[in-house]
Amino acid sequence: MLPNQDSYDFEMLRSELSWIVGDDNCRTDASEILAHSIDYYWVPECWHDRGQKLPGPDFVVSPANAQEVSKVLQFANTYHLPVTPWGGGSGSQGGALPVYGGIALDTKRMNKVLNVDPISMTATAETGINMQHFEWELNKHGFSSMHFPASIGCATFGGFIAHRGTGVLSTKYGKMEDMVMSMEVVLPTGEIINTLPVPRHASGPDLTQLFCGSEGTLGVVTKATIKIHPIPEARKFRAFLFKDMHDAMMAGAKLMTNRLRPCAIRLYDNAETARLIKNVLGIDRKGSYLVFGFDGYEKIVDLQMEEAVKICKETAIEDLGAGNGESWWKIRYKFFYPAYMFHMPQSFGTLDTVADFSHIENVYWGMKNAVAKNFPEATFIGHFSHWYDWGCMLYARFIIENPPKDPREAVAQYNRIWDVAIHEAIQNGACINEHHGIGLKLGRMMKELYGPAYSVLEGIKKTLDPNNIMNPGKMGFKGM
């Protein structure tokens, strides 16, 4: 526990931190503390909504570069203060919440694009840069990251690395871990290291991938290089309606296993088609809506589209045409604006997971049935996006219209649903999560997912972070 704000010791800590990052960049004001106490995790939102006091950081510290990050971490080791990296705070797993107080290390001052290399088609940036700003700057040079998550304007580059985030075009361009070439990391003890400059080699295990998805528990990623792409000549979409999710899933899988290269495929189950597709796109149909797209040279796009349409026509009940595909692309972020999103007092969560084509439908039905059986008050909906050669991601959601008023009861119910649904996902051959990460929310399930292999992760954590200062209590690691 830190001394309270009106003590000599607190002032001493504040002075030392201010010497490292400058007075303006070591904040203890109530506005900043409040804003860093709530991320996109439902639990703090619920607590705030119900007037509960929220745990927050003692200091919000914004370093300008890796050297300052290093000094902050050395300082934190001296005083055994927890340090929680905070990018955009848009993570939905509570990963950025400074649950033990201490330092919220806000990365947003490290926000520069450092290099755009048009020969290798790579770009290097500091990781606190807002992803939309990074994309805009690349566009100005005539390129794109092709990373288009719904939270492109909400989140930082580093946040996406820390969570192995994904965007709408991941089916062709990959998830963040596929995009990253190399990175600079400040280890928990303050050493600044660089991973190898290229992602493919036979020079030992891949450190870049170790830090992708480490959620601030193994250090602070301060700089990274990613692949970039030319703006494609054409990008075209097409939508189909299928009788049910199974037929649509088979068609989507066939697009992938026939080795077409769509940039996006998205399949909405019957419930989401009836709810979201109707609400947002105005397409009022019974069945499962499938949309996909191709991009690149127009001739190649057209050729691939022709083959894809043939596949879909085998089983679809309606060809919704290019217009109903294009409009989905145009309003792809709209789903996340408040008027279309779930909101308090509803209880809701995104149970995203991933499995191969042989298992993914069982995962869906396993989770859906388990939620229906144990929580009849919950609605379960889902869509499938981010398709791979071998499987796809299920973006399932539960919604409870009227959860208990008492915040503790509401949170207990919320946690139970997660346990039941994710346990079912693991049992059916899926993972805890596909792109939102583990954070505080799902740490308790890491041992079930990894089995004995989890001790490898624990060993790495112990070695890199002997004083356990980096984001304690997250990803299933020990708290303070």
Partner 1 sequence: MNIEKYLEDINSCRFCFMCRHLSATAQATGSEAYTPRGCALIADSIRMDKKALDNADFIQTIFRADLSGACRKNCNGQYDANKRLVDEIGLKVALRQDIVAAGKAPAEVVALAGKMKKMSVKVAGKGSVLYYEQGCVQATAPEVIKAFQKAVKDAATITGPDGLALHVMSYEKDALAQRKAFVDAVKASGAKTLVVSTPAAYWWLKPVVKSAKVVLSSEYLLGLKPKKGKTVKAAFIESDFLNKYPETRSDAPRKLFAALGYALEDFGTTEEESYTCGEGSVVTGFLYPELAAKMAARVAHLAEKFGVKTLAVASPYTKAVLAKALPGVKVVTPEEAFAR
Ligand X SMILES: Cc1cc2nc3c(=O)[nH]c(=O)nc-3n(C[C@H](O)[C@H](O)[C@H](O)COP(=O)(O)OP(=O)(O)OC[C@H]3O[C@@H](n4cnc5c(N)ncnc54)[C@H](O)[C@@H]3O)c2cc1C
340: contact with ligand X by CB under 6 A:
no
Q: Residue 156: which of partner 1, ligand X, ligand SF4, none does it interact with, CB under 5 to 8 A by kind?
A: ligand X
Q: Considering beta carbons, is residue 88 or 325 the nearer one to ligand X?
A: 88
Q: Considering beta carbons, is residue 220 or 226 the nearer one to ligand X?
A: 220
Parallel, antiparallel or unpaired: strands 220-227 and 229-230: unpaired
329: contact with partner 1 by CB under 8 A:
no
Residues 39-98 touching partner 1, rule: CB under 8 A, are 40, 45, 48, 51, 60, 62, 86, 88-90
Q: Which amino acid is at 253?
A: A
Smallest separation (angstroms) from partner 1 to the CB of 341: 8
467: contact with partner 1 by CB under 8 A:
no
Measure the CA–CA gap between 295 and 463, rounded to whole angstroms. 45
Which listed range, 67-75, 129-137, 405-413, 423-431, lies at the site for partner 1 (CB under 8 A)? 129-137
332 closest CA partner among 427, 437, 430, 237 = 237
- 57, 82, 91, 252: which one contacts ligand X (CB under 6 A)? 91
Tokens of 46: 């619920």
Smallest separation (angstroms) from partner 1 to the CB of 276: 14
Helices and strands, number each (H, E), in the chain: 17, 18
**Residue 254 Cα distances to 191, 299, 312, 382, angstroms:** 48, 22, 9, 20
Residues 150-189 touching ligand X, rule: CB under 6 A, are 150-151, 154-156, 158-160, 162-163, 165-166
DSSP-derived 3-state class of residue 48: helix
Burial of 1 (0-12, 13-18, 19+ CB in 10 A): exposed
Q: Considering beta carbons, is residue 338 or 376 the nearer one to ligand SF4?
A: 338
Tokens of 460: 């790495």
Q: Considering beta carbons, is residue 204 or 338 the nearer one to ligand SF4?
A: 338
- 74, 132, 209, 427: which one contacts partner 1 (CB under 8 A)? 132
Binding residue count for partner 1, defined by CB under 8 A: 48
Smallest separation (angstroms) from ligand SF4 to the CB of 150: 12
- 78, 193, 323, 336: which one contacts partner 1 (CB under 8 A)? 336
DSSP-derived 3-state class of residue 61: strand
**Containing H/E element for 34?**
helix 30-35
Q: Residue 25: which of partner 1, ligand X, ligand SF4, none does it interact with, CB under 5 to 8 A by kind?
A: partner 1
- 13, 38, 218, 283: which one contacts partner 1 (CB under 8 A)? 38
338: contact with ligand SF4 by CB under 6 A:
yes
- 40, 75, 348, 387: which one contacts ligand X (CB under 6 A)? 40
Token pair 């020969």 in the structure block, residue: 119
Q: Considering beta carbons, is residue 138 or 363 the nearer one to partner 1?
A: 138
153: contact with ligand SF4 by CB under 6 A:
no
Q: Where are the alpha helices (DSSP H) in 184-297?
A: 207-211, 245-257, 270-272
223: contact with partner 1 by CB under 8 A:
no
Q: Work out the angle at residue 88's Cα, subtended by the Cα atoms of residues 450 and 188, and round it to the nearest 5 degrees.
A: 55
351: contact with ligand X by CB under 6 A:
no
90: contact with ligand SF4 by CB under 6 A:
no
121: contact with partner 1 by CB under 8 A:
no
- On whether the CB atoms of residues 385 and 266 are closer than 8 A, the answer is yes
Q: Considering beta carbons, is residue 12 or 34 the nearer one to partner 1?
A: 34
Q: Considering beta carbons, is residue 297 or 337 the nearer one to ligand SF4?
A: 337
Residue 189: alpha-carbon gap to chain centroid: 26
Measure the CA–CA gap between 17 and 214, rounded to whole angstroms. 25
Q: Name the DSSP class of 151.
A: T
Measure the CA–CA gap between 318 and 324, rounded to whole angstroms. 12
Measure the CA–CA gap between 83 and 468, rounded to whole angstroms. 9
Residues 435-454 touching ligand X, rule: CB under 6 A, are 435-437, 439
Q: Work out the angle at residue 38's Cα, subtended by the Cα atoms of residues 35 and 40, and round it to the nearest 5 degrees.
A: 120
Q: DSSP readout, 424-476?
A: HHHHTT--S-SSS--TTTSGGGHHHHHGGGHHHHHHHHHHH-TT--BSTT-TT
Q: Under the rule (CB under 6 A), what is the footprint of ligand X?
A: 39-40, 84-92, 95-96, 107, 127, 149-151, 154-156, 158-160, 162-163, 165-166, 215-216, 220-221, 336, 435-437, 439, 471, 474
Q: Under the rule (CB under 6 A), what is the footprint of ligand SF4?
A: 337-338
Q: Under the rule (CB under 8 A), what is the footprint of partner 1?
A: 24-25, 27, 29-32, 34-36, 38, 40, 45, 48, 51, 60, 62, 86, 88-90, 106, 108-109, 111-112, 128, 130, 132-133, 136-137, 139-140, 151, 153-155, 331, 333-334, 336-339, 341, 343-344
